[in-house]
Amino acid sequence: MNNRLMLRRTQAVAPNPLLTLTSAFSLVDVGLTSSNIVTVRRLSDNATQNFTTDEITNGTLTTFVGVSNDGKVERMIDHQGNYDVFNIVTTLQPLIVENGNLILENGLPALKFQDDSYLENGILLDYPDLTIVTVNRSISNTANSRAFGIRSTNGSNRNTFAQASDNSLRYDGGFSSGSISPNKALKIRFSSKEGTQVYDYLDSTENINNTVNTLNNANGYINLGGPQANLTQRFDGVILGAFIWETNKINDRVEITNYINSLFNVY
């Protein structure tokens, strides 16, 4: 009996792999902060208020927005405190409350992107190596719609590294179109870039491992909902989480994906 108790006491607890990331955007508690993580604007009078993950789900948020009213996200506050994403154009902000109800996906709060809505940081970044992971579901999609990534500033996709559209399942900046049918299920998308080498996984299965010689540093702005150049053909769907590392995390892919799955119950 004592031996069994000793074993229980000395079992190692797996560390949170998200502790090393650069930025995290989610309405779900991912173990990084208990502070405010979102600024919401209610459409009835344009009043705004910040909320924690607990306040999102315990009724504080929907009480603020009001019965039969909508609430939109003005700012997603980075769980790591580095790079918030925001949109001051009220007509282009994603929904968090619709008709008085919190938007849920798989029983968890989510951002709903539609009608060209997006959120973006205002700081120009340049990543030689990069890893991005998202938890999202497409409602509909076009050939170039992307959920998350780095939006190019040079008027083309040459230097972007973005969440691929679901009818191509690519993280290669849009250079190669695919023939895969759109996947509209909730999914974990993992992609890591080291130089021009791109690794792409859908849930736990590798989708593409391809060298893209024209893919340079990911130079631009962190963007949720429309990271392609010129902000055209934006994402139409829901996003539960989006995460960035400034390094290639391909060797930690299984650990990261399993941990994220334990938070969002995707597969």
| pLDDT value for 7 | 43
pLDDT at 263: 95
Domain locations in the chain?
A: 20-264
Q: Kindly give, in sequence order, each residue whose CB lies less than 8 Å from that of residue 244, ignoring residues fewer than 6 positions away.
A: 21, 22, 23, 24, 130, 131, 132, 222
CA distance 222 to 40: 20
Could you give the angle at the alpha carbon of 136 between the alpha carbons of 182 and 266, nearest 5°? 100
pLDDT for residue 229 = 61
Q: What is the pLDDT of residue 176?
A: 46
Phi, psi torsion values for 175, nearest 5 degrees: -75, -35
User: Angle at the Cα of 118 (from 114 to 122), degrees rounded to 5?
Assistant: 175
Q: Which residue has the tokens 């968090």?
A: 96
Res 111: pLDDT: 97
Tens of pLDDT along the chain (267 residues) come to 455 444 444 445 567 899 999 999 999 999 999 999 999 999 999 999 999 999 999 999 999 999 999 999 999 999 999 999 999 999 999 999 999 999 999 999 999 998 889 999 988 888 888 899 999 988 875 555 678 888 776 655 555 676 656 555 544 444 444 444 456 778 888 888 877 677 777 777 766 544 444 456 677 889 898 776 666 667 889 999 999 999 999 899 999 999 999 999 998
pLDDT at residue 150, as a whole number: 82
Evaluate whether 243 touches 132 at the Cβ level (below 8 Å).
Answer: yes
Say what the pTM is: 0.86
Q: Class for domain 20-264, per CATH?
A: mainly beta
